[in-house]
Amino acid sequence: MTKVVTRFPPSPTGLFHMGGVRTALFNYIFAKQNKGEFLFRLEDTDKERSKKEFEEELYSGLVWLGLPPDNTDVPRQSERTEIYKEHLHRLIAEGKAYEAEDSTTGKGKVVRFKNPNGAITFTDLIRGEISVDTTDLEDFIIARNTDEPVYHMTVVVDDMLSGVTHVIRGEDHTSNTPRQILILEALGGTRPIYAHLPLVLADDKSKLSKRKHGEVVSLAYYRKKGYLPEAIINFVALLGWNPGGDREMLSLDDLIQEFSFEKVQKGGAVFNVQKLNWINKEYIKKMGAEKQKRGLLEFLPKDIDEKMLDTVLPLIIDRIHTWGDVTELWESGEFSYLLEEPVVDPGKLVWKEETREAAREHLTKVKEYIEKVSEAEFNTESIKASIWPYAEEKGRGSVLWPFRMALTGKDKSPDPFTVAGMLGKERTLKRLRNAISLLA
RNA sequence: GGCCUCAUCGUCUAGCUGGUUAGGACAGCGCCCUCUCACGGCGCAAACUCGGGUUCGAAUCCCGAUGGGGUCACCA
């Protein structure tokens, strides 16, 4: 049994695409599952469009996701031209490729592969046998000139030389496979096993593309928004694959354990952000408070009172799907009453059909109960215990609504006991007195 | 258009060797909890593309149609 070797060979011509993320993931999983190697290399033969920043983006993305490649030195095709040339020249020498006039401009010479014009049949781990008549491909170009090979040539040589056993890539490469098999056979290499993954689709069912669908196609977007790598891995794995039952929450280790090509879907899968959001939230809920806090801190104002954050933490967690959501939540003033005195509308202090007098009376009573709660025991539970019987007697809405409004000034907020607990005795009393005076 | 390929709720999917009230999840809607919001609990709605076969019986097997997607670069 030869060692399994998979690879992820993006071209650094754009941000790390979510489709690429899934391709990388499946390559990683399959390699690990078989105690093999997961290789990373850069296909930067297009000098015009290849950018250093994208190389970094790609590599750091893999590391961030928890899918570090096994090779420490990252090969760049732009630095391997001598190797490709050697193979290219061999093909020419053996009559398997030839130089030809540039058919479009008539200037210069390109290298074409001498197509034997037969049928190529290969086995795809996901789709079974695929058979193509290569005659339609004609004598395709494999190099811009005798020194500059293009994609098909470089892929084949690299895969062959690095001992790649499994080529796992997107379905958009299916039509490239026969060409590459042709070159590979001319070179005398061993055929790897192919697996073409169904595409990751946008809402309109077309391939996710930067041009058409914008920044939401790249990993960078989700990193910026504060999604968790585990959640992204989990979600993306479920795009076109599933463990067979009802399980949906799967760690990378689970995936390595459970993955099989038989369970890979044949049709494309729409990238559904809402599901990603849900999964992300599940991961957030599962982690400890300390981690949650650290996650939020990155997206909150620098000068935020960390002690206060401890108390609001559970409230925030209930209301967000990603760390980034907290920014908007915070800026919307959702918790503004914690930082500053609320502006209270006197009319709003009165519950439904009740009178101002009644509201004033309830608030006065509440103030008295609050005063009796000792400073040391001033927490949600004890506050609730002291006021609850009265609220039950007079009607919860009649008492609790003005109470909460006095503290927050908002139609929507957590319950008054929780808010009072967060504010502390002094501030709670101050706001109650203020509300009472407004009703005078 | 040629070639390749795919087809179960809006979306992700279960369904492996034919017999199920076609299951789950997200989203949606409703109810409950409740002073409001959020959380949570419960529930509802929602699919086998169509047409032929094979069979006692088809979402499942075969053929065809239709529809979708991919690809047809000196880009990868």
pLDDT digits (tens, 9 = 90+) for A142-168: 999 999 999 999 999 999 999 999 999
ipTM of the complex: 0.95
Q: Which of residues 313-342 of A touch strand B (CB under 7 A)?
A: 318-319
The Cα A436–Cα A364 span in angstroms is 7
- Spatial distance from the CA of A175 to the C1' of B4 (Å): 6
- Position A308 scores a pLDDT of 85
Intervals of chain A under pLDDT 50: none
- Position A102 scores a pLDDT of 79
Q: Which of residues 237-266 of A touch strand B (CB under 7 A)?
A: 238-242, 244-246, 248, 262-263, 265-266
A198 CB and strand B closer than 7 A: yes
Q: Which of residues 357-386 of A touch strand B (CB under 7 A)?
A: none
Measured CA to C1', the nucleotide nearest A143 is: B74
- Position A177 scores a pLDDT of 97
A274 CB and strand B closer than 7 A: yes
Tokens in use for A436? 């009472």
A394 CB and strand B closer than 7 A: no
Q: Is A251 exposed, middle or buried (0-12, 13-18, 19+ CB in 10 A)?
A: middle
- Spatial distance from the CA of A96 to the C1' of B19 (Å): 58
- Spatial distance from the CA of A227 to the C1' of B4 (Å): 36
Could you tell me if A7 and A38 are in contact, meaning their C-beta atoms sit under 8 angstroms apart?
Answer: yes
- Spatial distance from the CA of A268 to the C1' of B36 (Å): 44
- Spatial distance from the CA of A268 to the C1' of B62 (Å): 25
A122 CB and strand B closer than 7 A: no
Measured CA to C1', the nucleotide nearest A207 is: B69
A139 CB and strand B closer than 7 A: no
Cα within 13 Å of Cα(A189), Cβ side: 23
φ, ψ of residue A127 to 5 degrees: the values are: -105, -5
Cα within 13 Å of Cα(A211), Cβ side: 2
The Cα A152–Cα A178 span in angstroms is 10
Mention every residue, 6+ apart, whose C-beta is less than 8 A from residue A19: A170, A199, A200, A207, A208, A217
- Spatial distance from the CA of A367 to the C1' of B70 (Å): 70
Q: Which nucleotides of B are covered by protein (CB under 7 A)?
A: 2-8, 10-16, 23-27, 34-39, 68-76
The Cα A217–Cα A200 span in angstroms is 10
The Cα A414–Cα A257 span in angstroms is 43
A210 CB and strand B closer than 7 A: no
- Position A108 scores a pLDDT of 82
Q: Is A349 exposed, middle or buried (0-12, 13-18, 19+ CB in 10 A)?
A: buried
- Position A105 scores a pLDDT of 65
CA angle A413, A370, A367 (to 5 degrees): 85
Q: Is A402 exposed, middle or buried (0-12, 13-18, 19+ CB in 10 A)?
A: buried
Q: pLDDT tens digit string along A59-106?
A: 999 999 999 999 999 999 999 999 999 999 999 999 999 999 876 666
Phi and psi based region of residue A117 (left: phi greater than 0; alpha: psi -120 to 50; beta: remaining): left
- Position A106 scores a pLDDT of 65
The Cα A174–Cα A189 span in angstroms is 19
Name the CA dihedral angle for A305, A308, A314, A317, rounded to a multiple of 10 degrees: -20
Q: Which of residues 20-79 of A touch strand B (CB under 7 A)?
A: 43, 45-46, 49, 77
Place of tokens 């108390």: A311
The Cα A31–Cα A7 span in angstroms is 9
A89 CB and strand B closer than 7 A: no
Number of Cβ within 10 Å of residue A116's Cβ equals: 12
Measured CA to C1', the nucleotide nearest A43 is: B76
The bridge status of strand A269-270 relative to strand A141-145 is: unpaired
The bridge status of strand A200-201 relative to strand A269-270 is: parallel
- Position A21 scores a pLDDT of 98
Q: Which of residues 140-179 of A touch strand B (CB under 7 A)?
A: 141, 144-145, 150-152, 154-155, 171-176
